[in-house]
Amino acid sequence: MKRALALAAATLLACVAHAQAPAVPQAKCEPKPVYPGSKAMQDAEKTEAFQKQLKDYQECVRAYIAERRAVIQANDTAMRAAADEHNTVISKVRADQDAAKAAQGGEAKK
């Protein structure tokens, strides 16, 4: 049992040592819209240009958020799979240790 705990602790320490936060790409949505003022908004061309710039910027930000959300979900899935695999391996190790102890106990009684 102590060996399994030591193995689990060593595994955890190794994971922590390698767990450095990766660089997260920042949103590169340019140009950022700037409200031209109410006087400029009275000009139909300037209003249309501003609205297009605003729409393009909003679409870029939405795409960035959707991409980040997809990465988060993929990371979450991979993390859960790793945790499940870890739990399965540790359970098997414990079961094997218990079986070995039981076999030793049976041999000692003979």
Span 62-80, pLDDT tens digits: 999 999 999 999 999 999 9
* Cβ(98)–Cβ(8) below 8 Å: no
Structural domain span for residue 55: 50-84
Say if 70 falls within a structural domain: yes
Say if 35 falls within a structural domain: no
Distance CA 104, CA 110 (A): 10
* Cβ(31)–Cβ(17) below 8 Å: no
Please tell me the predicted confidence (pLDDT) of residue 21.
84
* Cβ(27)–Cβ(58) below 8 Å: no
- Considering the entire predicted model, what is its pTM? 0.65
Say if 14 falls within a structural domain: no
| Percent of the chain residues topping a pLDDT of 70 | 78
